[in-house]
Structure 1
Amino acid sequence: MSSSADASSSSSAGTGTGSRGIRERLGSVVSDVLTPPEEADDRYDRIRALKGRVTVERHSLGARLSHWTQALLMFVLLGTGYAIRTGTYGPMNVPPWDGYYIAFGLHMWAGILLMAFLFVLFPLYHVYVDGHRQLAEMDDVRVTVRVAQAFVGLKSYIPGYHHARETYDEEDGDWVAYHPMQKTFFWWVSIFFGLLTLTGFGMYAEMRTDPVRWIELLGFLSPWLPFEFLLQIHLLLAFLVFAMILGHVYFAILPSNHGALKSMVFGKMDAYVLEETDDSEE
């Protein structure tokens, strides 16, 4: 009897210890997130002391071509999708073909090409060639929380924040800060376009009487979900992506982002540089 009681109390103690450990870890994460970025990262103070700018390559030719090709393909997808949905084909009504077939063909191939650029070519150049980090780090989370608070007037912006986004850290091999929407946009657009691809091929597999093997594989949702449901999800995702593109364009044309926008066109940017010798000088 006593041994079972001991086992029970031991189990309860273990559960309590585990719960405390989880609470402590969560508390530590929340504390890290809410720590002011300028206190957690001394580079913001160092940036404010920088004076001159130098010309730095921010985006390689491959990254720029991939970016603008993606933009073009996205608008082709939105335009042809609207045409297919509404039956308004305009200049795509080219004899002897019907506008629907041209719009559908453009929609399919634009989607396939976009997947190649979005998931292969752009990450290859942007991440591996140019060295931009796309995974969210704790510094990014802190900056996002603080910028969101500043955006709605709850707090002031991080001292040196705008300069930080235009400062390259030679020791770290990356830019000191990114606009919060940059990494967010990349990941959500990638997720949404992945889902758009699956729902699109799910509908296509159902439309084809005898789909080829690769269409059947990509359209694996077809046997599980009705066509109309796939269509509604496809349209909802398309509206979400369109809204995100509008937001991306809005932030890109803000005066504080003109330098970053020009670098996506010309590749180079007038930036501050934190040199590796800065630490020893201080």
Structure 2
Amino acid sequence: MTTSDPEAADSNPPGETAAESRISAQLLGLLRSVLRSPEAADDRYSRIQAMKGRVSVERHGLGARLSHWTQALLMFILMGTGYAIWTGTYGPLNIVPWDGYYIAFGLHLWAGILLMAVLFVLFPLYHVYVDGHRQLAELADIRVSIRVAQAFVGLKSYIPGYHDARQTYDEAEGDWVAYHPMQKTFFWWINILFAVLVVTGFGMYAEMRSDPAWWIELLGFLDGWLNIVLLKQIHLFVFFIVVSMVLGHVYFALLPSNRETLRSMLFGDIDAYVLGGDDDDDG
């Protein structure tokens, strides 16, 4: 026969079990960890401020750079031809003997197919697996995002050493000390939103074709669930979101504080600090 411990029973708030109490404590601990200042949680920021001298480090390999700029070209082709199809304004695409619509549609279709291969396969392969850039959101990224957002609206100062941290390679971690909050966010959301454009676009294409090929039916599976008017509305809405994100990406890339990062996407290397496992003050 077992008896309950009255002291243990009284340790939890009324109506809360021990399991619920543990979960609450864990969530509270996680929240405190997230809200902790980045410089207090990561001593690398203070170490970076003491470092001297930079060396040339390859940030983006050739494969990542080629796939990135191929993505950019294909996205602008998609935006231009998509706008032409939507408005019926074809301009230089009106080439005799073809009608501008068919040229715009063909370019739009094949640019989308090629972008699927580059965006979903080639760029992640080179950027993540070959160059070693981590794209999953980590606790440190959340801390930095909160602090940068606060600094952006003037509530707090930027993290001491933050701009240098984005140009510092940590040999022990095999990754860069910090990323701009928009970098990983852009990577994920552009993939998710382009996937929506793919399934809605091919859904409309499957509706227009009398006998679509199997791969068109596969990618256009929404045709069986949504009518073409709703598919078009979703496609256009997401299209404008993607255009806004791409323009924002271009804006941030052209800021003076990101000039070296932009240069590395052109030429591969960047003048960076290297954080080793030993004393870095001599660096």
TM-score under structure 2 normalisation?
0.92
After superposition, the C-alpha distances for 1:134-182 in whole angstroms (9 at most, x for unaligned) are: 1110010100000000000011100000000010011111000001100
Give secondary structure in 1 for the equivalent of 2:270: strand
Per-residue CA deviations over 1:88-144 (Å, capped at 9, x if unaligned) read 111111111111111001000000110100010001110111110011100101000
Q: Distance in 2 between matches of 1:143 and 1:114?
A: 31
| Alignment partners' CA distance in 2, 1:231 and 1:25 | 45
1:68 shift after superposition: 0.5
Distance 1:147 1:114 in 2: 32
Cα distance in structure 2, aligned partners of 1:280 and 1:155: 28
- Could you list the per-position Cα deviations for residues 211-266 of structure 1 after superposition, in whole angstroms to 9, with x for gaps in the alignment? 11110111110011011111010001000001011111111111111010000001
Structure 1 CA distance for aligned equivalents of residues 18 and 79 of structure 2: 53
Q: Which amino acid aligns with 2:18?
A: T
Report % sequence identity.
Answer: 70
**Cα separation, 1, equivalents of 2:255 and 2:24:** 41
Distance 1:106 1:227 in 2: 21
The corresponding residue for 2:6 is: none
- Displacement of 1:25 in angstroms is 2.3
The CA deviation at 1:14 is 9.1
CA gap 1:153/1:254 in 2 versus in 1, 3 angstroms: same
Residue 147 of structure 1 is matched in structure 2 by 148
Question: Which residue identity lines up with residue 185 of structure 1 in the other structure?
Answer: F
Alignment of 1:167-206 (within 5 A): 167-206=168-207
- One-letter amino acid of the counterpart of residue 213, structure 1: W
* Displacement of 1:20: 2.4
Hey, what does 2:33 align to over in structure 1? 32
Question: Separation in 1 of the partners of 2:222 and 2:21?
Answer: 42
Counterparts of 1:194 and 1:98 in 2: how far apart (Å)? 29
Tell me the secondary structure at the aligned position of residue 272 of structure 1: strand
2:265 pairs with 1:272: no
Residue of structure 1 equivalent to 2:245: 244
**AA paired with 1:186?**
F
Instruction: Tell me the TM-score normalised to structure 1 length.
Output: 0.93
Secondary structure of the equivalent of 2:136?
A: coil
Contact 2:37–2:147 (CA under 8 A) maintained in structure 1: yes
3-state DSSP of counterpart to 1:154: coil
Q: Secondary structure at the match of 2:271?
A: strand
1 CA distance for matches of 2:63 and 2:221? 33
More deviation in 18-27 or 267-276? 18-27
The residue that corresponds to 2:159 in the other structure is: 158
Give runs of aligned pairs for residues 34-183 of structure 1, distance below 5 A: 34-183=35-184
Superposed displacement of residue 16, structure 1: 2.8
Compute the displacement of 1:23 (Å). Answer: 2.1
Give the whole-Å Cα distance in 2 for the aligned partners of 1:202 and 1:152. Answer: 41
Deviation at 1:278, TM superposition (A): 2.6
1:3 aligns to what?
none
Superposed CA deviations along residues 35-59 of structure 1, whole A, max 9, x for unmatched, are 0000110100100000100011100
Indicate the residue corresponding to 1:221 in structure 2: 222
Question: Does the aligned pair in 1 maintain the 2:67–2:122 contact within 8 Å?
Answer: yes
1:209 paired residue number: 210
The whole-number CA distance in structure 2 between the counterparts of 1:114 and 1:193 is 9
Equivalent residue, structure 1, for 2:21 = 20
Question: C-alpha separation between the residues in 1 aligned to 2:248 and 2:15?
Answer: 49
- Does the 8 A contact of 2:47 with 2:281 survive in 1? no
**CA distance 1:148–1:94, shift in 2 (3 Å):** same
2:193 touches 2:242 (CA, 8 Å); kept in 1?
yes
- Structure 1 pair 218–15 and aligned structure 2 pair: CA distance change class (3 A): farther
> Could you say if the C-alpha distance between residues 280 and 64 of structure 1 is closer, same or farther in structure 2, counting changes exceeding 3 Å?
closer
Equivalent position amino acid for 1:120 in 2? V
1:76-96 deviation line (CA, Å, top 9, x unaligned): 000000000111111111111
- Look up the equivalent residue of 2:126 and give its one-letter code: Y
- 4+ runs of 1 displaced by more than 6 Å? none
